[in-house]
Chains A and B, each alone.
Chain A
């Protein structure tokens, strides 16, 4: 009997813990060599900084969408990307929705670095889980694969996402 209880307890713990661990797992990241148009090469240091800041922006996105807090976008997003995501959060709040995003993998490639250094464009073939909650109740959890066009611009201390737009995967 004790063995059974222990086993049940172990199974229950695993079942409960698994989703938490799954949502907290780090995404796998693959970086393709740049396929640049433009005359300006991307230094390794710049590439590393851009990718670091972009991946961090997903964390900001995830928290902002889950907590319906547009202020959590401030550090990572700017311009069009920021106001569109802010609108989405406001829509979600009005509808009583929250969305949990978890990026599973990123396949990144820099495709443009403007000659004057004011913008950098990346393609991210990303896989993520999207869980939609209505007043706390899970409506659905879907695994999504999308191709994101991302434009980043330099700010004082970091790169920020200015355009964040998914398009159909060919």
Chain B
């Protein structure tokens, strides 16, 4: 048992000695380096060595004469992150941690906007998030103001400036009252990114039809169908006419043509006829002019 303890103690002494040797070689590593900038790592001692810079974001190696500084040119180490600098000599290894931080100058934006198409007049219907990057596509985490702008011809421009937190700024904006193609822009400094958003008419508003006799049939026709902001609802939108008479029901779907839907139905005196489009109900007529 004693010999085992002695064996373990000996092992610990060897390990401690190894640590002591590792601390003999020396280098001075900066606490942090700006991504893409030039820097040096001065070393002490004599002889040849190699310095490795290793992290999940990048890996480099430089040969160095101990006593001199290892030089890293601008653009050599450009990915932000936590790194190990490892000095390897013939007899020892020394490691130090340091950070590479993003440059402060924004050079790129990643702008996510949604939706690409929506009805007019929706409160906070459009949202966008902008991530701000430096020239090496490192996320800049220091706060930076980002301008957002939503413009649609004929509508008031909406603008908002939001400061980034952890590299991201976001906003929500209303869709315009008038239909059309809107430009949604995010800008930081000289860098901007634009998304196009189609603002389309909303649901029909005040859907009404009229009826007139046509022999054995009744001719139905809507007034021009518009949304609540006065935008014409697109042609092709389906309008449904429904006739109820004596416990029977008949339905006709008609697409809008030039803003108007038309249909013919059997003419029954006392029938009720209604009109609807999607979830929007229009007026109802009690037909008294039939057979």
Contact = CB atoms under 8 A, between A and B. Distances in A.
Nearest to A93: B59
Contacts of B88: 134, 139
A152 interface: no
Contacts of A146: 81-82
Contacts of B113: 116
Contact of B114 (A87, A116, A130, A166): A116
A45 interface: no
Interface stretch (B94-102, B202-210, B249-257, B268-276): B94-102
Contacts of A8: 4, 7
Given A4-B4, A11-B7, A119-B112, A164 B166 contact: no
B233 to A, nearest CB: 26
B86 interface: yes
Contacts of A88: 55-59, 79
B104 to A, nearest CB: 13
Interface stretch (A24-32, A47-55, A94-102): A94-102
A37 interface: yes
B65 interface: no
Contacts of B79: 84, 87-88
A117 B129 CA distance: 10
Contacts of B86: 132, 139-140
Contact of B58 (A80, A87, A116, A140): A87
Interface in A103-160: 111-112, 114-119, 121, 123, 130, 132, 134, 139-140, 142, 144, 146, 149, 151
A39 interface: yes
Nearest to B112: A118
A71 interface: no
A102 B58 CA distance: 18
A78 interface: no
Contact of A168 (B32, B54, B55): B32
A38 B84 contact: no
B61 interface: yes
Counting chain B residues whose Cβ lies within 8 A of the other chain, the interface size class is: 35 or more
Contact of A112 (B4, B61, B165): B165
Interface in B53-82: 54-61, 79-82
B97 A142 contact: yes
A7 interface: yes
Interface string A79-95: 01000110110011001
A119 B86 CA distance: 36
B7 A163 contact: no
Contacts of B168: 37, 112, 114, 119, 121, 151
A114 B170 contact: yes
B45 to A, nearest CB: 17
B138 interface: yes
B141 interface: yes
Interface of B: 1, 3-4, 7-8, 32, 52, 54-61, 79-82, 84, 86, 88, 93, 95, 97, 99, 101, 112-115, 124, 127-129, 131, 137-139, 141, 165-168, 170, 172
17 contacts: A39-B172, A85-B56, A87-B79, A88-B56, A95-B52, A95-B60, A99-B56, A114-B168, A118-B129, A121-B167, A130-B55, A132-B86, A134-B52, A139-B88, A151-B131, A163-B139, A165-B57
